[in-house]
Structure 1
């Protein structure tokens, strides 16, 4: 399986430049690298000196690049969807709908991008996938989709299974989702059977985060707004279970105040470069896919019956805690994290909570 590296930070901090330098550097180390971008502007074409397409093209030894274009991904399969509709509905509704018009649906961009990354990961063609997305909460929501979808399935599967509307639509849902997302997703996937393809897909997505195969790096400059945004994204990344491997302080020298802000993350100071000086920037980068020693988002202390949730960038006033059976939900900022109690703690509940040193510490009674 591939290691997946992405970058989080305020726009204008140099995320794209760093992503390109990182991809080049990893490829020079002998790793097979795929650089993925959702940027449809001419920036990448100019930076790399090529016209980037949706199909991966090799631009150097071990290095390929491709663009994730949502409208193109939709259009590729939309005709299939309309043909399938004719099989299931007497009066097709979609015949005058263009695939690109679905791009307005909330989360469609992230869903398509995540699915494409999944396909490239499963192809086993690449050692590392460098994903240069929006670098903001949308990127975090994308990587958090498996967790969120799993939560909704667990909560509402009974409602769906008993719904007459669902039963009537179920023959149509599976072929449509197969055509759009290349997965056999159907209402049958809401069954308790955890061996179905949809459940397996979600579980693998969750495991990829847990196993630290997906790693994010915070990119910032020595600027109060950029630093504040990076800290907020750091805490939000913990909420979706995404490991943050360190901080890349771009175009800056050693700075004790910045180091203190992101403690205990490792800070790497990156030099200013002129256009095309990829080697200089790449050599300054840390080992992006090595062993990560950053704090885990969630730690269970079984003997003391405690759960420690790492939430940097937030204070106790921004955190909301609820419990439903064996599931604890923590809301912080614009993100939600669901934590299942271990079987050994079945039937127990949270008896105390305190927020200290960036950790929310929960006591289980």
Structure 2
């Protein structure tokens, strides 16, 4: 398993430059590093002094870099879908559709990139993966996919199986499945569903663990960049993505006032001059240490029947808490989170909620 690191911040704040410097920092520590950029342009390759391709290429000792090209990733994913279909269906019907024919629909880029990160992580080839994405709400939606899809899979399956429609259709499932599926229909129906659930659960667990996946905020001293970083900080907490520090880029005049991003540390990073990467690398913090000390987005205290959600940059007027049946939903800004509660708290009614130390504290 690799340590996955990404950066959030306003466009033009220098996220890609800091991603490169971070990848070089880890590589020079002897770590095997993959720098994966979603920037389709030539900028990252130009800074590295080498054109990037859709597959990892060595750019220096211990460092590989690549572009996450959606069309190529879609072809690879489509081949996997066809292989799965051929395994489970008697007469596959996607076999005459080729990945090279498919276009990338809006929203597919993030899902394809996340799956690529999952595969490179699972390969065991890299100690560190530095992901250079859009660094905005798009990136947050990407990292939030495992939790959201896991919820859809669990919740809708439960509702369907308990519904009159589900009960009415269940006698017809077996003969239809026997006609379409190969081999043991029951096992074939259950296996893909369980595989999907396992993958989503693993993804959710990894993203909720700052020693596995960590984000850092990137800003300049400019007010709009600071405001954007604060907004993304709050959004990251909503999807369970820990944020470790603030990198104040293109400045040597000092860092921001501590209370702006408290309790995060913030670090002044000088502007890149004449490809002098050493100065940037030296100014970067110890990311492994940040992973250990990053504020947890959610803390669950089962004995006290209390859940604390760290929601910096939001106040109580911007947060809505609702409970429908067994589900507790928190809406902050333009993001909504369904809390996955432990069995001991699941289904219990909310007794109260309050804002305390930038956290929403929910009592059951």
Partner of 1:207: 205
What are structure 2's unaligned runs of at least 5 residues?
183-187
Paired residues of 1:220 and 1:249 also in contact (CA < 8 A): yes
The 8 Å contact of residues 7 and 216 in structure 2, kept in 1 or not, is answered as yes
**Runs of 5+ unmatched residues, structure 1:** 176-185
1:272 and 2:286 aligned = no
TM-score normalised per structure 1? 0.85
> How many angstroms apart in 1 are the aligned matches of 2:228 and 2:115?
27
Seen in structure 2, the aligned counterparts of structure 1 residues 303 and 43 have a Cα distance that, compared at 3 Å, is: same
Q: Does 1:24 align with 2:14?
A: no
Which residue is equivalent to 1:342? 342
Deviation at 1:294, TM superposition (A): 2.2
Conservation of the 8 A alpha-carbon contact between 2:9 and 2:136 = yes
**Alignment-derived partner of residue 236 in structure 1:** 235
Partners of 2:255 and 2:335 lie apart in 1 by 30
Local SS of the residue matching 2:362: strand
- 2-side partners of 1:24 and 1:132: how far apart? 14
CA distances 1:162-195 after superposition (whole Å, capped 9, x unpaired): 3969969989x999xxxxxxxxxx964686xxxx
What is the CA distance between 1:158 and its match in structure 2? 4.0
User: For 2:355, what is the secondary structure of its paired residue?
Assistant: strand
Cα distance between partner residues in 1 of 2:96 and 2:319: 43
Maintained 8 Å contact 1:9/1:15: yes
Query: SS state of the match for residue 229, structure 1?
Result: helix
- Look up the SS of the partner of 1:7 in the other structure: strand
Write the mapping of 1:216-227 to structure 2, written as runs, cut at 5 A: 216-227=215-226
- Tell me what 1:281 maps to: 280
Cα drift, residue 15 of structure 1: 0.2
What does the per-residue CA deviation read over 1:309-331, in whole Å, with 9 as the maximum and x for residues that have no partner? 10011121221111234432111
Q: How does 1:31-42 map to 2 (within 5 A)?
A: 31-42=31-42
- Residues 215/198 of structure 1: CA separation in 2 closer, same or farther (3 Å cut): same
Q: How far apart, in 2, do the equivalents of 1:82 and 1:341 lie?
A: 36
Structure 1 position 77, deviation (Å)? 5.4
Mapped contact 2:3–2:213 kept (Cα < 8 A): yes
Is the Cα contact below 8 Å between 2:231 and 2:313 reproduced in 1?
Answer: yes
**Tell me, what secondary structure is at the counterpart of 2:274?**
coil
| 1:245–1:265 contact (8 Å) kept in structure 2 | yes
Q: In the aligned structure 2, how far is the partner of 1:223 from the partner of 1:257?
A: 10
Cα shift readout 1:88-107 (whole Å, capped 9, x = no counterpart): 477x7975995441x12x42
- Classify 1:362/1:18 alpha carbon distance in 2 versus 1 (closer, same or farther; 3 Å): same
Query: Which secondary structure state, in structure 1, belongs to the residue aligned with residue 135 of structure 2?
Result: coil
Report the Cα offset of residue 78 of structure 1: 4.5
Deviation at 1:273, TM superposition (A): 2.1
For residues 7 and 286 of structure 1, the distance between their equivalents in structure 2, rounded to whole angstroms, comes to 13
**Structure 1 residues 174, 62: CA separation in 2 closer, same or farther (over 3 Å shift)?**
farther
Aligned length: 347
Q: 2:259 is matched with which residue? A: 260
* Matches of 1:266 and 1:322, distance apart in 2: 33
Q: 1:307 to 1:100 in 2, by over 3 A?
A: same
2:132 aligned with 1:132: yes
Distance 1:154 1:357 in 2: 33
Aligned residue for 1:343, secondary structure, equals: coil
CA 1:94 to 1:233, structure 2 compared with 1: closer, same or farther past 3 Å?
Answer: farther
Q: Report what 1:251 is aligned to.
A: 250
- Mapped pair 1:147 → 2:170: no
Q: Give the whole-Å Cα distance in 1 for the aligned partners of 2:252 and 2:181.
A: 54
User: For 1:289, what is the secondary structure of its paired residue?
Assistant: helix
Structure-1 separation of matches of 2:128 and 2:98: 40
Answer whether contact 2:209 2:242 (CA < 8 A) is retained: no
* 1:233–1:58 CA distance, 2 compared to 1 (3 A): same
Are 2:318 and 1:318 aligned? yes
In the aligned structure 1, how far is the partner of 2:199 from the partner of 2:181? 15
Match of 1:306 in 2: 306
